Structures are given as structure tokens and as C-alpha cells.
Amino acid sequence: MENKTSSEAPFWNPYLAGIVLGLVLLGSFVVMGNGLGGSGAANRVAIGAAHIVAPQAVENNAYMGPMVAPGQHILDDWLVWEVLGVFLGGALAAYSAGRMKLVLLRGPRATVASRLVMAILGGLVMGVAARLARGCTSGQALTGGAALAAGSWVFMFAVFGGGYMVAPLLRRYWK
Amino acid sequence: MLPTLLEQTTTRVNAEIDPALHIWGWEIAVYLFLGGLVAGLLILSALLLWRPREQPPSRILQFAPLVALALLSLGMGALFLDLAYKLHVFRFYTAFRPTSPMSWGAWILVLIYPVAALSGLVALGPDARAWLLKKLPLGKVLAWAEGKRQALLGATLAGGVGLGIYTGLLLGTLTARIQWNTAVLGPLFLTSGLSSGAAFLLLFKLDEVDRHRLVRWDMLALVVEAVLIGAMLLGFANAGAAGQLAAEALLGGAWTASFWSLVVVMGIAVPLLLEGIEIKKHLPLVAVTPTLVLLGGLALRAVLLAAGQDSGFRMLP
Amino acid sequence: MMLPLYPNEVFGRATGMVVGTLTGIAFGFVLERSGFGRAPILAAQFYGTNMRVFKVMFSAIATAAAGMAVLAGLGLLDLGLLTFPETYWWPQLVGGLLLGVGFIGAGYCPGTACVAAASGDVGGMLTYLGVMLGSLVFGFTYPVFADLYVAGKAGVLRLDTLLGLPYGVVAAAVVAMAVGCFFGAEALERWFAKRAHQEAPDTLKRPRNRSFVALAALALAAVATLAIPQSVQSAVVRTPAPVKVVPLVDAALRLPESVWLVDVRDAKLCKEKTLPRAVCLADLPKGAAAAAPSHKRLVLIGTDTVKEVPAALADFPGEVASLQGGYPAFAAELLADLPAEVTQTMTPARLAEYRLRGALHARLTGAAAPVAAPAPVVVPVAPTGAPAKKGGGC
């Protein structure tokens, strides 16, 4: 079920991969004093784009306004560079494993159109959720989980809870 | 009076207090990038087309000199957008000043057009030639150009080298900007142009042989570029207070993140790794690699342009 | 206590950004090799057939938590300098549920969408685009969420403080729980595989057992460091770094979110007059220091430079600084009349500093600006008046 072809390198053993991931996270804490993130960059890029299109609306917004205050640049943030790195690292890994290819991965019974719509919609819901929770699976569950932050553990169980609640409804879409 | 003063002094963007003089914007960065890319394209296509082949060369190579001209025109368009007095363009051509790189540039640009256009005709494969001759009465021109093939390609090569170096010298002669006050800028922009040119060609479908060569040349150009960047930083670090200020901006200062992340990591190191993996594992080349090289080339110009305009001898204590 | 490096000012902010790119490369590489760039694998987590997501995530959390505990136990890592996510019970619960729903819909979470996009999946690209749009939806409809966003604020709340146990013990417990859950997850996978007449995923025993041994060793080490005498661990005496008056007041007025000014002088003196946006130590509720956001810089204002952090503020998790010269320095530099200096001969940097001081003085005292604006030091290239005319360049 992992859609492997003979030329692709296999995925790492999950426990081993987890330990390596944990070491990367530990390294981030040890060097920078903070953990990893995934959605903060999306937020900043989106706000930056919105600020170009509608400067007034963004500046007067209670949530986004402080981020575009004079004297600071919206993209001048650790998370933005980190996500640029995630993209580069992902490309390096996928290419060296022989997996880099323009495709649309989807469940065996999902149509192209439904996959496209679900990807955008799912992303949209996660975008709202990540802002509300001050982080996503990377910034809250992984980072906060490792830092033993109480709220992050609540968040992590909630993510699995939310996923398991809705998964039966989408069975035809993924299975 | 009072609120205005406060606004001006506490946000420190007042032109009277911090005259950053960012008079060159994105247009110049795009122009420098396209100029370098075109230089690279001209040099590489001249080299690859040097020997007449039995089989017509890869399709993109047949059109490379003409594509280069189109891109050059695009760059000139960006440059034109930047000019304050657009109608005064002709004045560049009323005189030639050997000590002004702008004058050199203006004349190089003019000379490149006919040479590259004729090379473009020579480069065309039989199909394209037949099509072109049906549309335009260029039979005689083509025959003449074919006779002078090597001379034309040589002139294209020379024009490409001149253009590539000039884009760096344009900044290099403005010594009041301590970031640009280095002799490395010319060769650096030339090699960066070469890697951009190779990357551009690699975005298209190529023969196995051409692709192989281009990937290797691209890697070589990237390595040389990295060495030149190292030389530039070393040069700064040993060039007294002004040079140290220039190095500071890229080694811990305001432009560190963009320079190292975009130019060095994204534009040089990662593409080198990807190309190395490609050769080692015989993988098909993907568009990501050349795209990263092109983005890195653009970032190099943009960062050095912006960092240079930020710098000046007024920063010295 | 060399670690963490950046908060200990081993390198600067700009270099930190480059470190960010490099960290991201490692992160993205591991995520891809973990199989997180493929939506069907991630979605399988929610159908019980492949618990890869759970295994990778929990091994990572266990490794990092135990690793931090070991380093902190050895006295190498200062936990007080780490940025811990703050706890807001309700938004994190609701946000988590919502994110789970989006996750199963898109097949990716934001970070993995980025990796998927990098490996060429159009679904990943669109998901990340969706995350951007969703962020904007949140921003523009913020008033709807505003109450929920701050509901159940508990500040920096760690499981170890919540449970009243040492950090190392809780970290070891996390490892033990993770390994226990892994056995459960594998049993579940086998059950689902049997039902579907398929083979269970990742059945290789050797790498699994080795990983478990490594995790167990880390957990034991975390507990073992507790035996190291406490004097090593509590050797952290924080001396507040001194800050100058003018930049501090400038920051307090311009970026009030960045600093937290606490006047530690006598309550009466503080009530009488203090710095703008400063609070009196006597007015702070109990536990305010521990709950304060750690990204702010706590600046102490005394009768002179404060050398020691007062006990009531010792729990503050972030950076602590102290106003150089205390309140008297503030009064002398910004409240007293400014001497009119000759500005024509000043260097631009000095002039900027002088003007900043003048502006702050004017704002704080309501006095008129101290000097009339002198002629600009650097003559602009373009003629003034017209909007910055661009120069040519070929």
C-alpha cells in the first residue's frame, strides 16, 4: 500500500526515523532555544501578500496589524527560513530516494477533482486551526510535546481525536 | 509639529536621518539577472554549437541565441522602466566614454543584437530554417552567415563574456558603495550568469549528450561561484575598516540571512547536491534543480544590490 | 551552561536565521524519509492499518524530551532559556480538533504538506496554499475568535510542574508510555491486517528493537541525572543584563509587546512616578512572573542598576535585564532639560541618537522639541520635493 516502485528507496523504519527526528528537534532546542514549526511561515507569507493587496485592512486588523507594524518585516522570522529549509530538505530527500515526480497522490477511489478540492479545504481548516491553537502539528504537538507543555499535549490528543472522529465519514475517499 | 517629529525620529525611516538612498529597485536586480542569464546562454550555446553536427542539436539549443535576445530585450525593458528620463535613452549612443561602464554596457548591448541574431540563424535546424525561409527572404543572409559560422559564434562568445563581466563591473565601479568595491564582482556575476544560463537550458528537453555536458558545466560554474564568494568575503575581511563593514553585513549583519540562505544554500549548495545525486544515481533530472539555480542567481543580484545601497563610507565612525 | 547557544548570545539573530534554514533542511529531509510526503500513508493512520505517523511522532517526542532532560540534568542545558509554547486550554483543544479534521481531509498537516509539495505532489502544494488562505480567514475574522483565542490562559505550564515531579522523571515516563503505546499500535496493525488479509507494515524486528533499546537508555539516563547533586542544577544565578535608558524607553513606547517593565523600587516611590508602561512590583498578582510570556524581556527598574532578580520575579521564564542606573538615570537623561548641542558637526549616528532622545524627552515631558531641525547631513542625490525620482543604470 505504500505505492513503492522498484527504483524508490524504502522509507526509514518509523522508530528509527522518529529518533532521528527527535534529535533534529533536540538540536533545534539546544542551538536556537526553540522548536520547529510548519504553519507560522504560511501565516506570515499570507499576511505579507495580503498587506500588499490591502494594506489598510491588514494594518487595522487586531490580529495581523502588530505583525506589519513599522520597523519590522513580516517575512523576517525564524519560521519563514525554517520552512524554506523544510522545502529544500524535502526536495533533497525525495529526489535522492527517486520519489520526486509531479503527481496527485490520492485514495484509490478518489477523483482528481475531489482530491484538489479536499486538499484546499483541508488546508483552509488547518490554517484557521493552527492560528487558533498558536501552532500546528510541528509547532504544538511535536515541539510542545517534547517540551512537556501541558496545552500542547491537549492539542496533540485533540488532533488525533478530531481525525478519528471524521475519518469514518471519509473512508470511501481514502480507502 | 510635535507628533510629526516623534514619528520621524522614533521609527528611523526618515530620509533626512538615515539616507539609505535605495534608488535602484527590483528593475535593476531583474536586469542584472537577465543580463547574466543572457550572457550565460550566449556563451554556452556558442560552445555547444561550435562544431557542426550530423544530427540537428537539441531543439532549445537551435533557438538559444534568439531566446537570449528575447530575454535581453525583456531585461532592457526592466532597465527602461527604471530610467527617470525615458526619452533620453538615445544620448547613450551619441558618445562613447571608455572609462564609463555604463557607456560600455550600452554599446555592448547594441553590438550583441546583430551578432546573436546571425548566430541564431546559423543555429537553426533544417526544419526551422525551411519554415523561416518560406516566411522571410533571408536566403542570402543565411548563406553568408553559414560561411562565417565560427567567426559569428566566436563573436557571440566574446559578446557573452563581455556582457557577463560588465553586469558585475557596473556595480564594481561604484566604489562609494563599500559592498560593491571589490574586483571579484565581475567574475562572480559572469560565473553566476553561466550557471543561470545552463540551468535555463536544463529546464527544456535536451539530448543526452548536451544535458550531460550542461549539468557538469553547471556544477563547475556553481563551484567556482562558491569559491569567488569566499574570495569576496576574504577580500572584504582584509580590506580595512570599510571592507570589514561590508563583510559584516553578510556575516552577521542585516543581509546575512538572505545571502546565506537564498544565495549560498538554496542557490548553490542544494542544486550542487541534487546534480551530484543525479549523476551518481542516474536519476532523471527534475525541473526543481535548475529552478533553484535560477532563483539563487536572482537572489545574488538582489541581495548584493540592496546590501550595496545600504552601505556607504558614511557608516564609518 | 553553554546551551542553548542562541539565547546565550553565542551568535546573533541574523546568523540564527541561517541556522533556521539549515535546521529546516534536516527537518524536511527526515519528514520525507519518514514517509510523511505521501498522503495515503498519513491518512492510513486514521484507519488503523498503518500507525507510522503515531510511531514517528511519539519516538521523536520521547527522544527530544528525554534528551533535554539528560542535558539539563548534566547541567549543560538551561531549561529556563528555552521558549516553551504557552498553554491556553480552550483554543488548543478546539484548534486541535479542527486541525485533526483538516488533517484527514487534506491528508497532510501543514509541515508535511510542504514536504509533499517539495516532492512533487500537487495535493501538498494546494494544502499549503489552503493553510495560507486559512491563516488569512482567521486573521480577518479574528473578532469572532478573539474570546476563544485567550480562553483558559495558563501561561507556560509544563507537565512536570503540573504533576510536581522532576523534569527527568516525567520525560522518562513519556518514553515508557510511548514504548507501551507502540506495542499496542503494532497489535492494532496486526489485527487490521489480518482482517484485510494483508501483511502488517514495518515488521522488521531488528531496527525496532534497537530503537526501543536506545529510547530506554535515554530514559534511564534522564532519571540517572537526577542523582547528580542539586547544586549543579540550581547554580543558575541570573544576573540581569544592563540596558541603557534611551533604547529601552524607545522600545517600550514603540514595541510595547517586546518588554515588560517592572519597577522594583519602594511602592511609594513607584506610585509617585515611574517609566511609561512600567508596573510596580507591589501591584503584581502572585504567580504573575511564571505566567508572563517568555518572549518578552523583563526589565527591572531600581534606584540603581539592579544586580539580582527579586524573589517574586525569579520564576520568569524569559530574559531578564535591568535599567542601567535605575530610575535616576531615566530622570536625568530624559526628564531633565536637554542641553542644546551643536548639531551641524555631529556624525549621523550621534545626531540620530540625539534626536531620538529629544523626541522621547518631548513626548514624556510635553516640552517643545529641543532643537529646530538642522540641515540634513547628507545631501540627497535627487532634488527634493518630487517623489523620489529614480536614477538611471544600464
Helix (H) or strand (E) holding C242: strand C241-243
Q: Is the pLDDT of residue B4 over 70?
A: no
Cβ-defined contact of C254 to B92 (cutoff 8 Å): no
List beta partners, residue C241: C321
| pLDDT, averaged in runs of 10, over chain C (394 residues) | 79 88 96 93 88 93 94 87 89 95 94 94 95 95 91 87 89 94 90 84 81 92 81 55 82 79 85 83 77 79 84 79 86 76 64 78 70 47 42 43
How far, in Å, CA of C383 to CA of C388, rounded?
8
Cβ-defined contact of B261 to C355 (cutoff 8 Å): no
- Among C20, C356, C378, whose Cβ lies nearest the Cβ of B10? C356
C164 touches chain B (CB under 8 A): no
pLDDT in tens, B27-81: 888 888 999 999 999 999 999 888 777 777 788 888 888 999 999 988 888 877 7
Q: Give the pLDDT confidence score for residue C382 in this predicted structure.
A: 43
Mutation site, A7, A8, A96, interface B, largest B CB count within 10 A: A96
Cβ-defined contact of B266 to A88 (cutoff 8 Å): yes
Closest among C122, C356, C231, C352 to B6, alpha carbons compared: C356
- Count Cα atoms within 13 angstroms, Cβ side, for B102: 12
Q: What integer best gives the mean pLDDT of chain B?
A: 81
- Among B18, B170, B265, whose Cβ lies nearest the Cβ of C352? B18
Strand C297-301 and strand C278-280: the pairing is: unpaired
Whether domain B24-310 has CATH 1.20.140.10: no
Cβ-defined contact of A82 to C68 (cutoff 8 Å): no
The dihedral region occupied by C107, where left means phi > 0, alpha psi between -120 and 50, and beta the remainder, is left
* Helix segments in B16-148, DSSP class H: 26-49, 59-82, 101-123, 126-135, 139-147
How far, in Å, CA of C90 to CA of A155, rounded?
9
Instruction: List all residues of chain A from 7 to 26 with a beta carbon under 8 Å from chain C.
Output: 11-26
A98 touches chain B (CB under 8 A): yes
C359-370 burial, b if ≥16 CB within 10 A, otherwise e?
Answer: bbbbbeeeeebb
Domains in chain C, start-ordered, CATH in brackets?
A: 13-233 (no CATH), 241-334 (3.40.250.10), 340-365 (no CATH)
C151 touches chain A (CB under 8 A): no
Instruction: List all residues of chain C from 81 to 110 with a beta carbon under 8 Å from chain A.
Output: 81-89, 91-110
How far, in Å, CA of C5 to CA of A33, rounded?
7
Q: Give the pLDDT confidence score for residue C235 in this predicted structure.
A: 42
Return the number of CB contacts < 8 Å for A and B. 36
C-alpha cell at C76: 549543560
Instruction: List all residues of chain A from 53 to 82 with a beta carbon under 8 Å from chain C.
Output: 57-58, 61-64, 66, 69, 71, 76, 78-79, 81-82
ipTM of the complex: 0.94
Q: What is the dihedral of CA B39, B43, B45, B47, to 10 degrees?
A: 180
Q: Give the pLDDT confidence score for residue C387 in this predicted structure.
A: 41
How far, in Å, CA of C259 to CA of C77, rounded?
25
Q: Who contacts B89 (Cβ-Cβ below 8 Å, separation ≥6)?
A: B80, B83
C135-154 burial, b if ≥16 CB within 10 A, otherwise e?
Answer: bbbbbbebeebeeebeeebb
Q: Is the pLDDT of residue B298 over 60?
A: yes
**Residue with grid cell 540551468, as numbered in its chain:** B199
Closest among B21, B27, B22, B29 to B302, alpha carbons compared: B29
Cβ-defined contact of C29 to A93 (cutoff 8 Å): yes
Q: List C-alpha distances in Å: C141 to A75, C96, C305.
A: 22, 19, 45
- Among A70, A81, A96, whose Cβ lies nearest the Cβ of B13? A70
Q: Give the pLDDT confidence score for residue A43 in this predicted structure.
A: 93
pLDDT in tens, C234-247: 445 567 888 888 88
The average pLDDT across B244-254 equals: 79
DSSP string, C328-369: HHHIIIIISPPP----TTS-HHHHHHHHHHHHHHHHHH-PPP
C207 touches chain B (CB under 8 A): no
Neighbors of chain B by Cβ distance (3+ pairs < 8 Å): A, C
Mind listing the pLDDT tens digit of every residue in chain A (175 residues)?
A: 344 444 788 899 999 999 999 999 999 999 998 889 889 999 999 999 999 999 889 988 888 888 888 777 888 889 999 999 999 999 999 999 988 888 899 888 889 999 999 999 999 999 999 999 999 999 999 999 999 999 999 999 999 999 999 999 988 888 8
How far, in Å, CA of B113 to CA of C394, rounded?
16
C303/chain A closest Cα distance in angstroms: 32
C-alpha cell at B44: 554556452
